[in-house]
Amino acid sequence: MKPPAEYYQRDLNRHPPALTPAYKTSVARSPRLARISLEQTVSEITGPTFGHSDIGPLDHDLIRNYATTGDPIGERIILHGRVLDENARPVPHTLVELWQANAGGRYRHKKDTYLAPVDPNFGGCGRTISDADGHYFFRTIKPGAYPWRNQINNWRPAHIHLSVFGASFSQRLITQLYFEGDPLIPLCPIVQTIPDTDAVNALIARLDMNASIPLDSIAYRFDIVLRGRRSTLFENKLEGN
């Protein structure tokens, strides 16, 4: 059997290290020993696949997917972009999930006790499957900033949590996107877990006037890049390489 075509190794200078003391919870939740490098096998180059039968027709539309008595309150936005790999190839048919607070920074979660109210017409989660060219889009409400118990006066920038699968378990990624121009971004200990400013910039969704719908919704664009895959050079090409 031919060795599997591997995914490029992660550039760990681009990801946050495990121990980032300014983000206090990381102190007791970070391994002290080095991770052991594992040469990829079939267990790492495969991963779950999803289809449209897995999700509902409104799952990508957070303005409608939990509305009962009317629309949610807040800034109506379209969030769109592409899922690509490091070779700049589209990642098609992959599951993208997101979750967020409402316009006031309140999460619909039994553990969130922030005094800003929940919005009766806003749930705060969505999911979609990228198309053949890797495009995805959601419709939602721009989330508000949110206070949290880290340092006494820490506030999260407006952010949306994103979860992406890719084609293999080694591409699995959870991240957060921020919004262009938000002055809370450089103050946030969670943003600052990332040591590289270029990498931080990659998490900032850009205002996209061309994708906005006049008199309806403003748009932000956010491209997601997953690990690329090596071609099996000097061997017969496998499918997809």
Partner 1 sequence: MPHLPYLKETPSQTAGPYVHIGLAPGAAGFDIYERELGWDIAGPNAAGQRIRVEGLVIDGTGSPIKDVLLEAWQANAAGHYAHPEGGGKVEDGFRGWGRVITDFDTGQWGFDTVKPGPVPGRNGTVQAPHISLWIVARGINLGLHTRLYFEDEGAANAADPILNGIEWERRRPTLIARRADRDDKAVYRFDIRIQGDQETVFFEI
156 noted as active-site residue: yes
The 127-166 contact track toward partner 1, x by CB under 8 A, reads x---------------------------------x-x---
Residue list 203-232, contact with partner 1 (CB under 8 A): 203, 224-228
Report whether 120 contacts 104 (CB < 8 A): no
How many Å apart are CA 165 and CA 80, to the nearest integer?
Answer: 17
Judge whether 178 counts as a catalytic residue.
no
Binding to partner 1, residues 33-52 (CB under 8 A): 33, 35-50
74, 76, 77, 125: which one binds partner 1 (CB under 8 A): 125
Whole-Å CA distances, 131 to 22, 33, 85, 137: 39, 40, 14, 10
Residue 161 is among the residues annotated as catalytic for this protein: yes
Residues of span 160-199 touching partner 1 by CB under 8 A: 161, 163, 168-170, 172-176, 190-191, 193-194, 196, 198-199
76, 127, 139, 159: the active-site residue? 159
Question: 57 or 214, CB closer to partner 1?
Answer: 57
Contact 208, 80 (CB under 8 A): yes
CB atoms near residue 143 (< 10 Å):
27
Give the per-residue contact string, 71-110, with partner 1 (x = CB under 8 A; - = no). -------------xxxxx------x-xxxx------xxxx
Contact (Cβ atoms closer than 8 angstroms) between residue 105 and residue 116: yes
Residue 85 vs 208, nearer CB to partner 1 = 85
How far is Cα 217 from Cα 221, in angstroms, rounded to an integer?
A: 13
Is 15 marked active-site? no
Q: Up-side HSE of residue 75: CA atoms within 13 Å toward CB? A: 16
Are the C-beta atoms of 96 and 164 separated by less than 8 Å? yes
Active site residue 159: yes
Least distance from partner 1 to the Cβ atom of residue 214, Å: 30
Q: Of 23, 66, 136, 146, which is the active-site residue?
A: 146
Give the span between the Cα atoms of 176 and 169, in whole angstroms: 19
Cα distances (Å, whole numbers) of residue 87 to 91, 149, 156: 10, 40, 32
- Count of residues engaged in binding partner 1, rule: CB under 8 A: 90
Positions annotated as catalytic residues are 107, 146, 156, 159, 161
